[in-house]
Chain A
Amino acid sequence: MQMYHPTASFSDLTVRNVEALAQEEDNVIDLWCCGNTDKCAMGEKVVIIGKMSAKPCK
């Protein structure tokens, strides 16, 4: 019977997948629509008001 060893390493494929996921998460950028002036996003029926900002709104 083969015992599960808690320190066993992940397969190369698993490691590559985890690294890719981490890389993807690192690339996520948070943006905020702040304030009451200008327009952040637009569609036929919806307009989101605000200035796009790379830091949280005041």
Chain B
Amino acid sequence: MKYCLFLEFMACMLCACTRSVSTNDIILSDENCVVELSLSGDDSGLIEGLYASGSKNATKIVLLDFHNGKSFSLRDFRKQDALIRFGEIGHGEKEIPLGCTGYMCDSSFVVFSDETHCIVTYDLNHIDLENTNVHRYDIENAQFCQIIPVDSNRYVGMGVYADEYQYVLFDKNDNVVTSAFRVYNYNDSHFNTFHKFLSNQGRMEKHPKQNKFVAFIYNSKNIDFFEIANDSIHRISSQREQSPNYECVTRNGLSRVLPSDNSIVGYIDLCTTDDYVYVLYSESEFMSGTDSSDIVLVYDWDGELCSRVKMPQPACYIAALDDQLLAVVETATGEYILKGYCVRNVPHIN
């Protein structure tokens, strides 16, 4: 007990020592790293996603690390070994295709597949088939890259709907309640239906307690903050600072969007807490091959940029637990390490 209190005290001291260069920049050093553990072991594979609930006192994280026929591992972020692996790959009733992404709230993890049109909810306290819920959806003219539950009866999907809209609110009976926010290229005739979806893929996250959402599209500096209330999607803030720059190609019936010379990496990953939205961001050119960054932009839920966090090492994925920013770092030898940086007292831009 005394040892735990001592560790807590040391963590608080390290948080207090976070170096702030200006009112809006936080330079983190290895001294701010309060958790560090290896994620490379016999029971893990290529890491392609990191999820946490952003809640206070939460300790569980989920990794998308396909291995041994299962997509995910549930872990305690302070411990090396996985608690359990879940997400059986397949096309059975409670199975998911390979490569599904998810969304984590307090005690459940929601995965969706736009190929099999299923939304699978795992109870993280009791992961087994009995506690796994499957909902089938079929929304006409919609292609989704992410789906997040709004409440017990509704979901919000990100992607392209009717060749025009980025977000769709739909219910469990497949009724489209509303759609909102035109995609950046909705009226560009160079983009067919497939091109539009390919160019508007990205990531979306939800406020841990409220029906507020934030989403970005890849290879861009376009980010939306919105709220769902009274069957409507209300815009909080839309920042379309740099749209993707793609060339549309269709050959042999296969459509692709190819990044142009001046395309940027842009937003890479994001995570949320009650107070802030953390977005992993790189200004590097796409052609540089960069897939990680040491810069995290911190926004409040009004969409105001509060600060820039510079981590000591580039991260591939990020997640937030209360006042800790978790980062998956890949070493030069290809080993994955999870680092937990203390980011208490985020300063606001004046």
- Please give the residue numbers on chain A whose beta carbons come within 8 Å of chain B beta carbons, in ascending order: 29, 31, 35-49, 51-55, 58
Is B350 part of the binding interface, using a Cβ–Cβ cutoff of 8 Å?
A: no
Interface string of B9-51 (1 = CB under 8 A from A): 0000000000000000000000000000000000000101100
Beta-carbon contact of A53 and B99 below 8 Å: no
Beta-carbon contact of B291 and A53 below 8 Å: yes
Is B334 part of the binding interface, using a Cβ–Cβ cutoff of 8 Å?
A: yes
Beta-carbon contact of B48 and A54 below 8 Å: no
- Please give the residue numbers on chain B whose beta carbons come within 8 Å of chain A beta carbons, in ascending order: 46, 48-49, 64, 66, 98-101, 115, 145, 194, 197-198, 201, 218, 252-256, 258-259, 286-289, 291, 334
Knowing A29-B287, A36-B48, A54-B289, say if A41 contacts B255 (CB, 8 Å): yes
List of 10 A-B pairs having minimum Cβ-Cβ separation, nearest first: A55-B289, A36-B99, A42-B194, A54-B289, A43-B254, A43-B253, A41-B256, A37-B99, A54-B287, A41-B254
B99, B255, B289: the one within 8 Å of A49 (CB): B99
Beta-carbon contact of A37 and B49 below 8 Å: yes
A38, A44, A55, A58: the one within 8 Å of B253 (CB): A44
Beta-carbon contact of B64 and A42 below 8 Å: no
Distance, CA A5 to CA B48, complexed state (A): 61
Beta-carbon contact of B334 and A42 below 8 Å: no
A36, A41, A43, A52: the one within 8 Å of B259 (CB): A52
Q: Which residues of B contact A45 (CB under 8 A)?
A: 253
Beta-carbon contact of B287 and A42 below 8 Å: no
Residue of B nearest to A46 (CB): B254
Residue of A nearest to B45 (CB): A36
Beta-carbon contact of B145 and A38 below 8 Å: yes
Q: Which residues of A contact B115 (CB under 8 A)?
A: 47
Distance, CA A35 to CA B287, complexed state (A): 18
The secondary-structure label for the interface of chain A is strand
Q: Which residues of B contact A38 (CB under 8 A)?
A: 99, 145, 201, 218
Q: Which residues of B contact A36 (CB under 8 A)?
A: 46, 48, 66, 98-99
A12 → B minimal CB distance (Å)? 30
A39, A43, A53: the one within 8 Å of B289 (CB): A53
Knowing A44-B253, A53-B291, A58-B334, say if A37 contacts B258 (CB, 8 Å): no
5 sample A-B contacts, Cβ–Cβ < 8 Å, listed by A number: A36-B66, A37-B101, A38-B201, A41-B255, A42-B198
Q: Which residues of B contact A53 (CB under 8 A)?
A: 289, 291
B46, B66, B255, B289: the one within 8 Å of A42 (CB): B255
Distance, CA A40 to CA B201, complexed state (A): 10
Distance, CA A3 to CA B201, complexed state (A): 64
Q: Which residues of B contact A44 (CB under 8 A)?
A: 253
Q: Which residues of A contact B218 (CB under 8 A)?
A: 38, 51
Residue of B nearest to A27 (CB): B261
Beta-carbon contact of A43 and B255 below 8 Å: yes
Q: Which residues of A contact B287 (CB under 8 A)?
A: 29, 54
Beta-carbon contact of B254 and A58 below 8 Å: no
